[in-house]
Amino acid sequence: MAAKTTLNAKNLEALGAQRLAELLIEISTGSAAHKRRLRMELAGNQGSTEVAREIRKRLGSIARAQSVIEWHKVKTVNADLETQRSAIVTVVAADDPKEAFDLIWQFLAVADTIFARSNSGDTAFIETFHQACADAGVIARSAGIGIEVLADKVFTALQDNDHGQYDRLIAEMVPALGKDGLERLKGLLVQWSNEQEEKPADADRKIFGWGGSGPIYQDEIFANHRRRTARIALQEIADTQDDVDAFIAHQPEETLRVPTVAAEIAGRLLSAGRAEEALKILDGIDQRGRFELPFEWQRARTEALDALGRGEEAQAYRWQCFEQSLNGEHLRAFLRKLADFDDIEAEEKAFAFAHGYPDVHRALAFFLVWPAAAEAAKLISGRQAELDGDLYELMTPAAEMLQEKYPLAATMLLRSMIGFALDNGRSSRYRHAARHLAECASLAPHIDDFGSVRPHDVYVAELRRQHGKKHGFWSLIR
């Protein structure tokens, strides 16, 4: 049974309404966020009209604000936004969907000022506005907004999507727009994309920057931005309509030879049962100057081959891709296609290949991700001299993974980072090197046989002989 001093709703009810009211006033003093929340609750008692008035007033205040949103204020500002969004959805929309529709668009409109004031790069804001896009779609249906009005609003919003706040708007609006609404939106976007703006006189043109062929003018930048924005939106509409031909038609001809774009198109063609066309698109890319093609393109090509009944060719290509990159996803796909027990032999063959791979660090990364800790330890032991202690992003997690079962291999990795820091006089890494040396000391009692590797005390003595004058490092050793 909970104590009577435990903070829960039942115990607080026992304080009585008057005392709770006094405590809320006391707690909210000095906190604008808490006061706004209390005012919202009071407005709720007066009905959705009063809540809507409070929301509109608050959103106007946010839109007018000019102070910079520093990183430590992001959480507070976003909580304020979430309070307004939640009230629109849960209180106003339930009673007056049309009023809620107007409010959610006002909410979305404050995105520009929020991003203009924020320098944190935090993703919290974008997630909030993406959720508001979803809310707008739901509210639009319940409010019975006409498709022409809705299409016009979506079109206007997409023209001002500089921060990606409307990236999900089309997908969320599909149920409310319906076929006719999407067609109207499509028409507006095509018209906007094809608009020919009056070109200013050369003397009046503003230079945005300089390129290899001369000045880059602002009017050209704006026109390119308009066409690109419209093209992306038209491709989204094509996706919602499962129209792969329209998606391709809105892709610039020159980009069809880019591997990542070809992979996107091929995926859509494969979903439409058009494997032959998918393979043609994939094989038509520009491979000049490319040592390794993107994984997405390689995967799409194997899927196209499988769809065409060319399974052996697909398997051969999967193995070829694995040998080129040691990407475990290619190997997993290869193994899934094999009969029982054949996959065990193939995995052993893959491990043997990885042990001889020219780049020991890529091989180590493969064994870590697979995961195959025993193989990683074997690789480290056999190719210790090739380890680059500068690659701490790889060495640190590898040592952590191996330290329990393979303390000697973990020690070798830690020593590689210590050696790099001291051999190169990287004083900024001395603190980390000292920590690594302490970790080596803690691992040493768990190593039964150091083999050809120096025991810990001998290793430390050698470090002192070679780097005894690096006082910045030794001062950190306890």
**pLDDT tens-digit series, residues 241-258:** 999 999 999 998 889 999
Greater confidence, 14 or 271? 271
The C-alpha angle with vertex 287 and arms to 284 and 293, in degrees rounded to 5, equals 100
The CATH architecture to which 251-355 belongs is Alpha Horseshoe (1.25)
- 3-state DSSP call for residue 217? strand
Nearest Cα residue to 417 out of 438, 432, 397: 432
Q: Is the peptide bond preceding residue 371 cis, with omega within 30 degrees of 0?
A: yes
Share of the chain above pLDDT 90, in %: 73
**What does the pLDDT read at residue 32?**
63
Rounded Cα distance between 299 and 295, Å, is 6
370 pLDDT above the threshold of 80? yes
Rounded Cα distance between 32 and 39, Å, is 10
Considering the entire predicted model, what is its pTM?
0.76
| C-alpha neighbours within 13 Å on the C-beta side of residue 467 | 23
Encode pLDDT of 99-152 as tens digits.
Answer: 999 999 999 999 999 999 987 666 889 999 999 999 999 999 999 999 999 999
**What does the pLDDT read at residue 372?**
97
- Contact, 256 vs 275, CB < 8 A? no
pLDDT band at 1 (very low <50, low <70, confident <90, very high): very low
Nearest Cα residue to 89 out of 134, 59, 123, 54: 134
39 pLDDT above the threshold of 70? no
Greater confidence, 95 or 308? 308
Nearest Cα residue to 181 out of 156, 148, 135: 148
**What does the pLDDT read at residue 4?**
67
Q: Which amino acid is at 373?
A: A
Encode pLDDT of 397-442 as tens digits.
Answer: 999 999 999 999 999 999 999 999 999 999 999 999 999 999 999 9
Facing residues of 69 across strands? 118
Rounded Cα distance between 298 and 444, Å, is 44
Residue linked to tokens 């009905």: 47
Distances (CA, A) of 287 to 226, 303, 325: 30, 20, 16
**What does the pLDDT read at residue 197?**
58
Encode pLDDT of 190-230 as tens digits.
Answer: 999 887 655 555 555 565 455 656 655 555 667 788 888 99
pLDDT band at 15 (very low <50, low <70, confident <90, very high): low
- CB neighbourhood size of 16 (10 A): 10
The C-alpha angle with vertex 407 and arms to 406 and 408, in degrees rounded to 5, equals 95
**What does the pLDDT read at residue 234?**
95
